[in-house]
Copies of this chain bind each other. A is one copy, B any other.
Amino acid sequence: MRQIVIIGAGLIGTSIGLAATKNGLTCTFVDSNPRHQALATQLCGSGGSSFADEEVDLVVVATTVPDLANVVLDALNQYPKAIVIDIGSVKTKVLLEVSLKVPSNDLSRYLGTHPMAGREITGPEGARSDLFAGRAWAICPHEGSNQADVASIEELIRSFGATAYQMKSEAHDEEVALVSHLPQLLASLLAGSLHGELSLAGQGLRDMVRIADSDPLLWSGILSGNQQAIKPLLRQISKQIDQLVDLNLSRESVERVIAAGVVGKSTIPGKHGGVDRDYAKLPVVISDKPGQLAALFAICGEIGVNIEDLSIEHSPAQATGLITLFVAQGDLSTLINELSGRGWEVHP
């Protein structure tokens, strides 16, 4: 695989271009927005490179969901030797629409995929070559898929640092309905309920509505395209809400809902594609002045303890802050001893 055409120079399309260019592939961008097309082309440094349609090895369709099927169909026609993949958030609908309109030998060249990556900054400006590093990337082979093509797309995805998960398009759509589309709708519905002063708003609310800043146009295409999988989930939520109201939020009814949530939350795998890395946490009190974090991390570096993750409590106005370090379980006692031995206030 050498020559790639990327249709749609948004965040995902341009990031794919950056990652592919880094791996020595050549990319050409096509976008109805000339500024996006020019910026993506410039970012990937592939200047005026263009190649004959017959020489294209791969077409990546990275448009919005409602356009996917038509653009895939056009690409299968225009580039007769290319594998054509799309990166849309919905898979069954696109596969169905494409299947209905192309001969099956052309269909074998189409493969639906979906990288689970994104950023708050959209458009080619937000693109990064490492956008997919450490992320899951679903690929959804169909009955007519060419296995060699599937393998080479998997290899490409791995070369971007992502983890490929093969699944049927229906299974994909049901899973994203649960882990992405339902959360988006609930975040938006919650945010949409907000009104008034809200001087008591805390971090819980802020976390819950973080994704409510989403693009209505983009998301209406995605959610509408996956209505079959989303509707049963919504019905179930609505039914449970109605039950809570009917029971006047009795303690038993609320207790059931909260307890079920505790169990459900525990089913989310660890951060890294299903492998649960069970880090130990260590809260440490720090002064809110320059140099404190440096001193803390210098000690961690010195004693060879890797900080896997960390969080700072949001209270910069106060004189002291609390930082929570996440480290491997085996490193915890060393870290506690070394830090407290040097006068740091730790709260294991």
A130–B347 Cα distance when bound, in Å, is 12
Within 8 Å by CB of A116, from B191, B202, B262, lies B202
Residues of B within 8 A of A212 (CB): 258, 261-262, 264-265
- Contact between A293 and B289 (Cβ–Cβ < 8 Å)? no
- Contact between B200 and A180 (Cβ–Cβ < 8 Å)? yes
- Contact between A264 and B193 (Cβ–Cβ < 8 Å)? yes
Stretch binding the partner chain, chosen from A8-16, A102-110, A311-319: A311-319
Q: Which chain B residue has the least Cβ–Cβ distance from A279? A: B316
Within 8 Å by CB of A192, from B206, B264, B314, B347, lies B264
Number of copies: 2
A136–B211 Cα distance when bound, in Å, is 24
Q: Please give the distance in Å from A231's CB to the nearest CB on chain B.
A: 5
Residues of B within 8 A of A296 (CB): 297
- Contact between B135 and A268 (Cβ–Cβ < 8 Å)? no
- Contact between A262 and B294 (Cβ–Cβ < 8 Å)? no
A48 within 8 A of B: no
Q: Which chain B residue has the least Cβ–Cβ distance from A181? A: B249
Task: Decide: A190 near B200, CB < 8 A? Known: A214-B258, A224-B251, A262-B212.
Answer: no
A138 within 8 A of B: yes
| Interface residue total, chain A, C-beta cutoff 8 A | 134
A80–B54 Cα distance when bound, in Å, is 92
Stretch binding the partner chain, chosen from A23-31, A32-40, A148-156, A171-179: A171-179
A50 within 8 A of B: no
A136–B201 Cα distance when bound, in Å, is 8
Q: Which chain B residue has the least Cβ–Cβ distance from A328? A: B316
Task: Decide: A318 near B133, CB < 8 A? Known: A209-B261, A249-B227, A251-B224.
Answer: yes
A292–B176 Cα distance when bound, in Å, is 35
A223 within 8 A of B: yes
Residues of B within 8 A of A192 (CB): 240, 257, 260-261, 263-264
Known interface pairs A128-B347, A207-B207, A207-B211; 12 further A-B residue pairs with C-beta atoms within 8 A, sorted by A's residue number: A134-B316, A134-B318, A184-B258, A187-B204, A188-B261, A195-B267, A199-B274, A201-B268, A221-B251, A227-B248, A294-B297, A308-B316
Instruction: Give me the 7 closest cross-chain CB pairs, A-B, nearest first.
Output: A134-B315, A188-B261, A291-B301, A294-B297, A133-B318, A192-B260, A191-B261
